[in-house]
Amino acid sequence: MNFTSPSRGSLSLDEAFADIIAYIDDKPKEQYKLIIGTDSHAHYRQDVCFVTAIIIHRVGKGARYFFRRQKHRYMESLRQRIYYETFLSLEVATLVTAKLAENGHSCLNMEVHLDVGEKGDTRELIREVVGMVIGSGFHACIKPESYGASTVADKYTK
């Protein structure tokens, strides 16, 4: 599983994780949020580009992020796309959680940002995908607070 860092280029998940830990260890007294979010963009009847972002946010003092881009067959259903976005975020969140536990950082505040909100076509899916995230043991954020999906990941879907 490879990720891209805007400043460091292509990295494996292990290398991205090491960069996250180094960022935290540089200023360990600061408050951090680890954010996972996925967004997608359908290219007319051809394929769908999914982008999953990992963001380490030093609250009030900047952030670093890494993203993974994947193309999949075209999905007609918005519900199917949102479910798959949620699945991809949970997949990465689970892998990162395991690495955090191995490295003594299991107390790090982690959020899964979902690209759903009270306005628009996704409002009917909020309860379902938030339930998936909470049921998996993570904190869920929806629009407008879900900037990990709706801003960072969205930037790389086109």
- The tens digit of pLDDT for each residue in 21-34 reads 999 999 999 999 99
Averaged confidence pLDDT in the chain: 94
pLDDT of residue 128: 96
**What mean pLDDT is predicted for residues 112-130?**
95
C-beta separation of 53 from 66 below 8 A = yes
The domain locations on the chain are 2-156
Handedness of CA 31, 132, 94, 103 (dihedral sign): positive
pTM confidence score: 0.94
C-beta separation of 19 from 33 below 8 A = no
